[in-house]
Structure 1
Amino acid sequence: MSELSPEEQLHEFQLAASCLKGYLQPHTELQKPKVLIICGSGLGGLSSLLKEDETYHRVSIKYKDIPGFKEPKVPGHNGELVFGHLGGNATPVMCMVGRFHYYEGHSFYSNTFPIRVAKLLGVEYLVVTNAAGGVNETYKTGDIMVINDHINFPGLAGQHPLRGLNLDYFGPRFLPLSDAYDFHLRYALFEASQKLELKRSIHEGTYFYASGPTFESRAECRMLRFLGADAVGMSTVPEVIVARHCGMKVIGLSLITNSVLGDKPASAKETCLRGDTYTAVDQTKGMASHAEVLESANSAAEDVKSLVEYFVGTL
């Protein structure tokens, strides 16, 4: 939520859009991108696929040089916008190499600021990627999940990206989200995976948004399964909500980088009654870490890059 009035907020978005157009002035074909791609943890290499030769140009702009943009502080998030053309149809795109997270101390207004700026530039589609924990017990590390729905846990408790005076310029006060993840785009993505003959497992499921920065406890993991979540992460949903508020069509991809621990912790009482020593119990086995997330993302990144490149080239 911003303390600025809707008119003042719109002025901030317009200022950032105008700044970007200035950087892109020598390359007018890039001034109106069709697709915004948000690169999740370890997936910044997506921007390396943008064409660069005598015909097609590639322009990188640091977040610190754009009014209203924050700088991400999380490893795996570089903090730059990259403009260029992607795929067989040379679709004009802008890539966010690094995103902002609520747990970093940013407001939802700052976290989603680039989405509204992208809308002012003419973006019609959002392709959002993330690294996520596998809640569904059939998911394996390295699998991909196409998001078909989400649970906005902070939002249900009032921490919502559309909280505050509505920005009528972009969208309605009361936004339905039953169609948040476009069916036709999801269908096209599965078509793309078939044509590429990818060997990696690709699922379709529900993404649970938890604000982080801690990974979930064992009891929380069991709760997520009970609520119907298939994957859990610390981003994406605020961006999707604002993109839908702006009228963009959305496709979301989660790269499963670890399996959550949902079994109950070892009982100290039972261990003691059996006469076992506590040193025999290892509570860290299978525990998630950000290093593991980045390592898993890097190992599967090539398939994700191929899939996104082919898919975006069909838009």
Structure 2
Amino acid sequence: MCTEIPTVEQIQETAKYIREKVGDFSPIVGMQLGTGSNEMGDHLDASPKPIIIPYSEIPHFPTCTVPGHSGELICGYVSGVPTICLKGRFHFYEGHTMQRATYPIRVLAMLGVKTLILTNAAGCLQKTWTLGDIVVLTDHLNFMGTNPLIGPNVDLFPPFSTRFPDMSNCYDASLRELAKKKGEELGLKLREGVYFAYSGPSFETGAEIHMMRVIGADCVGMSTVPEVIVARHCGMKCLAFSIMTDIAEADAHPCHEEIVEVGHKSSDSLINLLRHIIPKMVG
């Protein structure tokens, strides 16, 4: 568990370490992979061979403690596009500060990443949706009780890293349209929705589920939003996908192992979609 607030010098040191490991590899796209969708990190192009660095070897990186988060940074190519994958994420509920939980996102920005793709497993609040549905996030509601930008302003990426960054297009509209169009071409029905983020790790109560629906949320989870806030603070465009891995109902009894299993079943469709859209993101 890392509770201290990371420094600019630490971010630079981590980026320097990764550059020394990957040589002239220059990532354009970054992927933060979540519960049940880590497989994308195993489906990069076979040549050149991806470079895998365990989080445990990276200076100042926290340690993954949640099942389904393997804890590896993978540098390779997706359909010819240089891409860096974070295979496993860090959560506020693990005891990290928000600043430490989002530390890898700042490192990706320091390495040159301009577009960030995020995936997560989420509880479904829409009664007409089903398990395994893939949702393109259009917006979020931050009910985590804090913000990763609290504290000294890390002004590494002006003009984006202002004290008060704009979040009006935090899930980039053009990238969402690209995903929807390609999804239709592939016969993949993508939902669209608003993500409700809260700290966890306990699952939501019946009253909380009712509140979330009333205020306009379509799905609920314990991640992603802090990373998106930091990514926008660094000037990155964001595209996020939630896999509906459990149904949020007052009488439901969600189980983490079942959530991981449902996420795995939908990951093939999401992987196929990403392999098609990533080249068009930079074209």
Which TM-score band applies after superposition, normalised by the shorter structure?
Answer: over 0.9
Q: Which runs of no fewer than 5 residues in structure 2 stay unpaired?
A: none
Whether 1:212 aligns to 2:212 is no
Report the counterpart of residue 33 of structure 2 in structure 1.
Answer: 39
Taking the aligned partners of 2:202 and 2:87, their CA distance within structure 1 comes to: 23
Taking the aligned partners of 2:134 and 2:50, their CA distance within structure 1 comes to: 28
Whether 1:164 aligns to 2:154 is no
TM-score, structure 1 normalization? 0.85
Aligned residue runs from structure 1 range 169-184, under 5 A: 169-170=156-157, 171-184=161-174
Report the counterpart of residue 142 of structure 2 in structure 1.
Answer: 152
Pick one of 116, 132, 144 that aligns with 1:142.
132
Aligned residue runs from structure 1 range 117-266, under 5 A: 117-154=107-144, 157=145, 159-170=146-157, 171-198=161-188, 201-262=189-250
Report the counterpart of residue 291 of structure 1 in structure 2.
Answer: 257
| C-alpha distance after superposition, 1:263-288 (max 9, x if no partner) | xxxxxxxxxxxxxxxxxxxx6xx311
Aligned residue runs from structure 1 range 13-162, under 5 A: 13-25=11-23, 28=24, 30=25, 32-53=26-47, 56-87=48-79, 90-154=80-144, 157=145, 159-162=146-149
The answer (yes or no) to whether the contact 2:4–2:100 under 8 Å persists in 1 is no
**Number of residue-to-residue matches in the alignment:** 277
Taking the aligned partners of 2:178 and 2:51, their CA distance within structure 1 comes to: 28
* Aligned-pair CA distance for 1:71: 1.1
TM-score, structure 2 normalization? 0.95
CA RMSD in angstroms comes to 1.4
The answer (yes or no) to whether the contact 1:68–1:110 under 8 Å persists in 2 is no
% identical equivalent positions: 39
Taking the aligned partners of 1:237 and 1:96, their CA distance within structure 2 comes to: 16
Q: Which letter maps to 2:98? A: F
| C-alpha distance after superposition, 1:189-228 (max 9, x if no partner) | 0111122122xx3111100001110110111100100110
| C-alpha distance after superposition, 1:113-171 (max 9, x if no partner) | 111111111000000000000012222111011000000012xx4x1100011112230
* Aligned-pair CA distance for 1:57: 2.5
Taking the aligned partners of 2:89 and 2:178, their CA distance within structure 1 comes to: 25
